[in-house]
Amino acid sequence: QANPLQPRGIINPESLQELVDSIREQGILEPLVIARTPAGYQIIAGERRWRAARILGLEKVPVTIKETTPQGMLEMSIVENVQREDLNPIERALAYKKLIDEFGLGTNEVARKVGKSAPTVSNTMRLLSLPDAIKDALVAGVITEGHVRPLISLGESKLMLELFKKILRENSTVRQTEDMARQVKGEVQKKEPYRVTRDRLYIPELDDMARSIEVMHGFNKVTIYQTGSQAKIVMVAKGDAELTAAKIKEIYKILTGSDASEEITTVSDVTAGLENQSESEVKTTVG
């Protein structure tokens, strides 16, 4: 069976046909890696080879059986695809996010498991904050990852889409895109270095930071406020008491560098009073 946790969402028909032709001539040179699950044997690595074998009508393929967990299956699938560069940037970002959301790993843990630096993992996950039209173009290969990174720095979807259209229209290089993004940011800051809503300063970079926190740590909404005398971060995590308690512990670990369990005896200590609530709002004030 195919792995339901397979990080690759799209298998290119042309590359699959090339693999079919290769296997027809040379056979399968590298065994598939599979794992035994309650639902049967599932593929960890080698789904393209398996699909090609089915097209050729092969009844048997060489396999290596691994004893692992669902988390281990996902980790191995990601590592195998990343090493082969088989995932597009959005698939990589979604795979990293799945490790964080479903298995509670931190960015540093994900980076260590997939053999990438923590900044690389964080920057890849920031691609998920792009408007859908730009993500689709990136997946289709219309533009490159180098083109979209400067767009993310603009913060606002409207600005991203306007510059995206200009890139396509003018067939801009990555360097030209970086220059144009800097120019757009400069014009915005010149027109509006900051806005004040009551006593709140609005600084574009803060929204960019908030979106990064949402993507990297799975919060439903993050807002960063700055006034003349203080800064405030509001993080909203929706869900039952158990889920929101886990988010509170995650914040604690990020801020203190230690496990919340060392200070909090049980989850019930954290969730007291939350049993009948469907949403928790966590506020951190600095200054």
Active site amino acids: 47
Q: How far is CA 222 from the centre of its chain?
A: 16
Tokens of 272: 């007291």
Cα separations in angstroms, 184 against 65, 188, 189: 53, 6, 9
Long-range contacts of residues 172-175, Cβ cutoff 8 Å, at least 24 apart: 172/147, 174/144, 174/146, 174/147
- Antiparallel, parallel or unpaired: β 195-197 and 63-66: unpaired
Q: Using CB atoms within 10 Å of the CB of residue 13, give its burial: 0 to 12 exposed, 13 to 18 middle, 19+ buried.
A: exposed
